[in-house]
Structure 1
Amino acid sequence: MSDRPIRFRVLGPLVVGTDGANARMGGTKQRLVLAALLLAKGRPVSADKLVDTLWPERPPRSAVANLHTYVSGLRSCLPPVPDGHRVRRHADGYSISLLPGELDLQVFEELLDESACRKAAGRPDEAESRIAEALALWRGEPLEDLPPSPLWQAEAARLVERWLEAVEERCALRLAAGRHAENVAELRSLLVRHPLREGLWQQLMLALHAGGRQAEALGAYSEAREHLVDELGTEPGPRLRLLHEAILRGAGPAAEDTGVFPLCQLPGDMPDFTGREAQARELAEILQDTSPAAPPPVVVVTGAPGVGKSAFALHVCHALRGSFPEGQLYFDLSGTGGQPVTPVTCSSRCCARWVSPARRCRAS
């Protein structure tokens, strides 16, 4: 491979290469191993998880030996990093070494972090520019050319959620700058694919209203309500209803109502979740304790692997979204990996990632 900087692209079909020249990464299984390592962003992935990704139903007896072969193939395809092999062996699995700027996923999230800081610092034009750069990295659904894997389904869903949030925020910044006409066509196109996304409907209504197209804005609300009632059996949320009422009255929405806050970074809830009612009530009571003397609640959910701890926690979090109106952040601590993230690191990254417009970003 050329000495030019290598790029790993997962925000769309998996592509590896330099500017103008893509590398051949072998067959589907070898590419699956690479995809799993890239989405871990340098953290070790256990051999067991890689085997499950390669053979989700019944792995062959030679699974571990085959995995070694695929890793060896990746090492021969990828240039080394200054301190050794690109793909490294650990006691319980493998990791990939990534240099700054090589992985589009990391660049995407860094640009969004920068955008949040620029907005908090009162520089909306720079904030929009960073978001535009971040969105330009997307070429389709994450890893859309590979078979789906439980190993990265939650991460892929989180990335799509963050992409949608970024689109909504860019629309809000355009609207605040008086460029509402740019939003309408883009939003209508996105709503064909994401008709249940209330934030997109909100931005479309705002753009139409700002352009003097009140009847179309009210029609957009009717469309949104029809989708939500027909497909989910629920009415639009309070922000969408309040915007609808404001347009009916002929009042302009307040400037602070045009952003995407409150944010919800939670992975999707399981629509068929059942059981655990007593534990869910107990957890909800702990998290909703808002007495002045009470410290911020911290809850640990424990249990054997595979019993549904993550599904249970997410289900309760979704049920309590109304109790946390400023938004809900999500961060993967990688507790099952070889290098779990510390709570201190998690806290600082979450603060830099999304900040309320009324709060100053801690990151420079």
Structure 2
Amino acid sequence: MSTPYTTVRLFGAIGMTRDGESVHLGPARERECFGILVIRRGTPVLVDQLIADLWGDAAPASAVNVVHTYISRLRRRTDSTEEQGLLRSLRPGYSIDPASVTLDVDEFESDRRTGMAALWAGHFDQAAEALDRALGHWSNAEALHGATGPLATQERRRLDELRIDTLETSLALRLRAGARSDTLAELATLVRRHPFRERLWILLMLGLAREDRRGEALVAYHDLRSLLKEDLGIGPSQRAQDLFCDLLADRSQDELWTEHLTLTAQQR
């Protein structure tokens, strides 16, 4: 009998498929319990750890019994026993073997690492392809959608940060290959969603300048400066100020590109 091909997703709502068929994991809290075991895969997870990950300091008095109930239901839904199947008892604790599942987060991070390695090696086309492939693993929803416990919140923030950094680098590579209206439109949307990420503003300004829209690039800088002053009481970074000055000085597009386009979040 062949081993079922099991995939788990943490992008969007926590879910699982076996041989292409969706597996119902139960209500939101039970799915989150399963997600915790996936996040901590490969090591025994004690009941106390599950309680802390699910509720933190707000755990109910019945938390131990509730967790045991969740595990029992998840075993039944995943066709697992204490010794066999996806969800196993390790005495103490429970575990999911990393080798038994394909996880969308792992695929995202693997493609991201491949893309960044290609970027650092100067293989820009390969980097762009790998980073776009990494972003393709995301659904339109946030990671671990609907999960509210401390671990899920922490993991969501980590993955969201990786995603936006990957997206910024992907957009920088697209601009390097030749600014397009759809890339600029995406950047304009992103600066509204993530207004305090100055790298997005810098990319937008560079893309506008490259399309002979220098006036709009200057307006974008003033928008950034006003936003930071009103909301945070600070000014733009030195990098943003330097780009603004070079735009005012009417430096050539090639000079702007060479001086200000950074393909990674930190200058190399």
| 1:69-148 alignment runs, 5 A limit | 69-78=69-78, 84-99=84-99, 102-139=102-139, 140-146=141-147, 148=148
Shift, 1:192, TM fit = 2.2
- Counterpart in the other structure of 2:189: 189
Q: Percent identity?
A: 33
Q: Deviations over 1:12-63 (max 9, x none)?
A: 22121147532100122211211112222434333213113444424224x3
Amino acid at match of 1:60: A
Structure (1 or 2) with the greater helix fraction: 2
SS state at 2:98 partner:
coil
| 1:232-251 alignment runs, 5 A limit | 232-251=232-251
Residues 41, 254 of structure 1: alpha-carbon distance in 2 compared, 3 angstrom cutoff: farther
* Alpha-carbon distance in 2 for matches of 1:19, 1:154: 30
- Counterpart in the other structure of 1:261: 264
* Alpha-carbon distance in 1 for matches of 2:101, 2:131: 16
Amino acid at match of 1:257: H
SS state at 2:85 partner:
coil
* Alpha-carbon distance in 2 for matches of 1:242, 1:45: 50
* Alpha-carbon distance in 2 for matches of 1:88, 1:19: 20
Q: Does 1:50 align with 2:61?
A: no
Shift, 1:203, TM fit = 1.1
Amino acid at match of 1:258: L
Contact 2:6 2:100 in 1 (8 A): no
Residues 256, 99 of structure 1: alpha-carbon distance in 2 compared, 3 angstrom cutoff: farther
Contact 1:109 1:134 in 2 (8 A): yes
Shift, 1:262, TM fit = 4.2
Extract unaligned runs of 5+ from structure 2. none
- Counterpart in the other structure of 2:161: 161
Normalising by structure 2, report the TM-score. Answer: 0.87
Amino acid at match of 1:164: I
Shift, 1:134, TM fit = 0.9
User: Segments of 4+ in structure 1 off by > 4 A?
Assistant: none
* Alpha-carbon distance in 2 for matches of 1:247, 1:18: 55
Q: Does 1:5 align with 2:5?
A: yes
* Alpha-carbon distance in 2 for matches of 1:159, 1:216: 32
Contact 2:54 2:150 in 1 (8 A): no
Shift, 1:196, TM fit = 1.1
SS state at 1:45 partner:
coil
| 1:2-41 alignment runs, 5 A limit | 5-18=5-18, 21-41=21-41
Shift, 1:92, TM fit = 4.9
Aligned residues: 261
Residues 241, 95 of structure 1: alpha-carbon distance in 2 compared, 3 angstrom cutoff: farther
* Alpha-carbon distance in 2 for matches of 1:43, 1:219: 52
* Alpha-carbon distance in 2 for matches of 1:96, 1:22: 18
Say what the alpha-carbon RMSD is for the aligned residues.
2.5
SS state at 2:146 partner:
coil
Extract unaligned runs of 5+ from structure 1. 264-325, 327-355, 357-364
